[in-house]
Amino acid sequence: MRNARFWGILLVILHILVQAPHALAHSKLHIDLSRWQSFYVLIVINLLPLVAAIMMWRRKRWGFLLLLLSMAGSFGFGVFYHFIAAGPDNVNSLGIHPWSNTFLWSAVFIALVEAAGALVGLAGAAVA
C-alpha cells in the first residue's frame, strides 16, 4: 500500500504539472469550454485528484477510490474530447499555430497519466 500511495501522489503531481501547459494552450488556441465542461474540469479533473492525494497522504483508504474515480472520469472526458469527438478540442482539428504541439503532446501525456492514476487507484483500493 505504501508504494501505491507514493505512485498515486506522484501521478497527481504530474497531472497538475501537465494540466498547466495544456490549459495555457487551450487559452492561446482560443479553445473555449462550455459552462458544464468548465465545471467538470474544475471539479473532476483539477479538484478531486488533489483531494485524493491529500486523503492518500493522510492514509485514508477512500483516497484510492477517489483517485480511481477522478482519474477514470478525467481520462474518459479527455480521450473523448481530444481524440474522438469532432470539434475545436480534437487534436486532429488543430491548425498550424505555435501552441498546437503543446496542446497535442500535453493531451497525450495527460491521458497516459490519467490511465496510470486510475490503475494505481484501483490497485490501492483493492489492497486498502
Mean pLDDT of 11-24: 97
Residue 22 has pLDDT above 70, yes or no: yes
pLDDT for the residue 127: 84
Nearest of 81, 1, 72 to residue 38 by alpha carbon: 81
- The stretches of the chain forming alpha helices (DSSP H) are 2-28, 35-40, 48-57, 62-79, 100-127
| Residue 105 burial (C-beta neighbours within 10 Å; 0-12, 13-18, 19+) | middle
Per-residue pLDDT reduced to its tens digit, 99-122 = 999 999 999 999 999 999 999 999
Nearest of 118, 90, 117, 109 to residue 20 by alpha carbon: 109
Per-residue pLDDT reduced to its tens digit, 40-66 = 999 999 999 999 999 999 988 899 999
**How far is the C-alpha of 115 from the C-alpha of 2, rounded, in Å?**
20
- Cell numbers representing residue 50 in the block: 488533489
Average pLDDT of the chain is 95
Residue 32 has pLDDT above 90, yes or no: yes
Boundaries of domain holding 18 = 2-127
**How far is the C-alpha of 42 from the C-alpha of 93, rounded, in Å?**
24
How many domains, the chain?
1
- pLDDT confidence bin for 29, thresholds 50/70/90: very high
pLDDT for the residue 61: 85
- pLDDT confidence bin for 1, thresholds 50/70/90: low
- The set of residues, in sequence order, having a beta carbon less than 8 Å from that of 47 and lying 6+ positions away, is none
Residue 128 has pLDDT above 80, yes or no: no
Indicate the Cα dihedral angle 24, 117, 82, 18, nearest 10°.
20
